[in-house]
Chains A and B, each alone.
Chain A
Amino acid sequence: MTGRAARRAGPPGSQGRPPGIWRSPAAARLRDTAAAGLLAALIIAWAAVPAAGARPGTRITIIIAVISAIASLGRLATADAQVGGHAFDTLPVRAAAQAIMATKFLPWSEILIVAVLVLEALHQHGAWHAGVLGVAVLAYLFAVHLGESGTRLRALAPQLPVLAAGLGVLVLAVAAAVLPQLTGGPGELLRVLAVTAAVVAAALALPVTRR
């Protein structure tokens, strides 16, 4: 039984260090992390540039965004890593274990999202600028989700109609924002409320249409 199977497995020379039988998920993890990293860099750059002439608080928001981006990427890259945990670990191993623990301490992706939206709000770009940022942030969220759950892109297929509807509403909102502005404060507020109401109405209507 077992002896024959073991002999088939090869000579005992490779004892203790059997070759991996399954493709290492490291490559997929690296690809997902790289995609999320690129998108994170893109959304920070898009929301932060130009840094000069922005309102106060821009610099600290950029710093927060960069730190949270790095930490969220670290968390994504080291999701499966098991470093340290033994009594006699060396100093670098213990430091690495602490660093990995730190990435899991706070919801860095959420902080990044809030930071880039605040950055965008601190700048006086056009409405289309915020629209593009919204699409990029969404792409970043899905990249992080795919990386975390280890699922493939096709797992998102059921969400595509809803996502398309959401992007449609986003385009409508941006279009509403670039329309010639009404004069006075009450008109502007009215416009914001109208767009918000449109978003909520679409959200309420969607589950009915889905079924």
Chain B
Amino acid sequence: MIRDQISSLVWLIFAIFISMESLRLPMGAWRDPGPGFLPLGTGILLGVLSIVNYYQSRPGQGPPPKDCWYSPKGWPKLVLVTVSLFTYILLWPVLGFLLSTVTLLFFLFRTVEPQTWKVTIGGSILIPAAFYALFDMWLKTQLPKGVLGF
């Protein structure tokens, strides 16, 4: 299958990268291996395995190809959640934990599988408040405060 062959090539490139970078480290000797010894061995082994996997993935060699590996209907939701997750982390120092969590929940409740306004508004306010009470006030985790001071 093409996708398996592509993934094997990605691993092969990764293996070459590990091996090349390992060569920059001292190798030591057999009787006293240096810090580059095992990384180099790992890189070479990964490379060999990737090549074998590539050949085993040739059309007609492995099990019959499965359906599309991603869900055509589901991937927009996936991208949405992933992007909002990274944005959420970036927003923490700016908006603080409370405000950024309210924003994230409101956004996710309305976009991924739209909930009623009652659930959206109620959940977006109550869940961050509960987390704040649990982690910040009870467990004394110092959750970040934003530019507004909370």
Task: Indicate, yes or no, whether A interacts with B.
Answer: no
Show the binding face of A for B, using Cβ within 8 Å.
none
